[in-house]
Amino acid sequence: MRVTEQPPTRSPEAQRLADQTPLKSGRSGRGLPMAPRDRKPGLAALAVLLIVGGALLTVTLVLRSGDRVSAIEISQRVGAGQPIPISALKEVQIAQDGPAFVYWSAAEEMTRYFASVDLMPGTLLNQNMISEDSAELVPGKAVVGLSLKPNQMPPNLQAGQRVQVVYVPGENGDGSSRLLARSALVNSVRGGDSATGSANVTVSVVVSDSISPQVVGYAASGRIALAYLPGAKPSAQSDPATVPTPRTTPSVKTTGTGSTQTGQGTQQGNQTNQNGQNNQQSQTPRNTAPANGQG
């Protein structure tokens, strides 16, 4: 015999309380009325455009970041007015839309140009930094070669730096130190190691052609020294017009004058003796003739 279960029956009081309890709005289709949503299609379209534009810009930047070219970078210092050596250039990869640069393919051609400004290591070379003519190697200038000892020049001297060319007196102390060139450009440095003093160093400097003969003359006797000028520019003042002359001692002048006077006195004495002898010879026949006649 099958028994069917009956749902539990409520008491009249429980049914009355259940009828008085309101139902939740989520379970009932009868709720408070809601205001209609105000939709703006223009703002939606603008948001879409911004999203698409940002995505395109990002893609463009990523693609162009891989578009790199070979450019010339300065690897060692080149002074203003100096020729640009190939050893001072190196190849680097940069973005094509970066700052101004010169393609690496023109590196050999750059050796025919001169630096118009001081070129420092790590600088990208551009057309504003070079010139076809040197501002230093021009008419009115002379390149003078100096063979210097380590105590006549600063250590680690490099081409492109600026120095003072100074006359120094010799061991006998003739004269005093004088400035010959205010701001001479170091054109080249070759030879021994100035730091260890293993040998003389050959330094060529650019000076005015009005003082170059004097500089060469004093350099031959080892009376030239160089003083480094950090950060110096070409001097607007002209180099000194006069150069030091070795001081002559009074003894030299006295000796020269005495010798001259002595020579004059000797010559006059010789002339007097010769005249005296001539007079004696001319008088002797006169005295001798009567004696012979008398005999």
- Whether 162 is covered by a domain: the verdict is yes
**Are 159 and 108 part of one and the same domain?**
no
**Residue 120 reports pLDDT greater than 50:** yes
CATH number at residue 96: 3.90.1210.10
Between CA 63 and CA 57 the distance in angstroms is 10
Between CA 210 and CA 207 the distance in angstroms is 8
- Whether 278 is covered by a domain: the verdict is no
**Residue 108 reports pLDDT greater than 80:** yes
220 with 254: CB under 8 angstroms?
Answer: no
Structure confidence by residue, pLDDT tens digits, 43-78? 888 888 899 888 888 877 766 655 788 999 999 988
Which of 46-55, 171-180, 221-230 bottoms out in mean pLDDT, i.e. has the lowest? 171-180
pLDDT of residue 227: 94
**Are 100 and 179 part of one and the same domain?**
no
pLDDT of residue 167: 93
**Are 122 and 159 part of one and the same domain?**
no
Count of structural domains, the chain = 2
152 with 226: CB under 8 angstroms?
Answer: yes
Structure confidence by residue, pLDDT tens digits, 129-160? 998 887 788 889 999 999 998 889 999 898 88
- Whether 270 is covered by a domain: the verdict is no
Last residue within a domain, chosen from 131, 149, 164: 131
More confidently predicted of 262 and 28 = 28
- Whether 246 is covered by a domain: the verdict is no
pLDDT of residue 5: 59
Between CA 147 and CA 145 the distance in angstroms is 7
pLDDT winner (highest mean) among 14-18, 151-155, 291-295: 151-155
* Average predicted confidence (pLDDT) for the chain: 74
Between CA 204 and CA 187 the distance in angstroms is 5
Which residue range is the domain that position 82 belongs to? Answer: 68-131
**Are 172 and 203 part of one and the same domain?**
yes
Which of 120-124, 161-165, 199-203, 223-227 bottoms out in mean pLDDT, i.e. has the lowest? 199-203
Last residue within a domain, chosen from 131, 158, 185: 131
**Are 171 and 120 part of one and the same domain?**
no
Which of 17-21, 80-84, 169-173, 291-295 bottoms out in mean pLDDT, i.e. has the lowest? 291-295
SS3 198: coil
Last residue within a domain, chosen from 78, 104, 131: 131
**Residue 31 reports pLDDT greater than 60:** no
pTM confidence score: 0.51
**Residue 283 reports pLDDT greater than 50:** no
What residue has token string 């070129």? Answer: 119
**Are 154 and 97 part of one and the same domain?**
no
Q: 36 falls in which pLDDT band (50, 70, 90)?
A: low
Structure confidence by residue, pLDDT tens digits, 229-280? 987 777 666 666 554 444 444 444 434 444 433 344 444 444 444 444 444 4
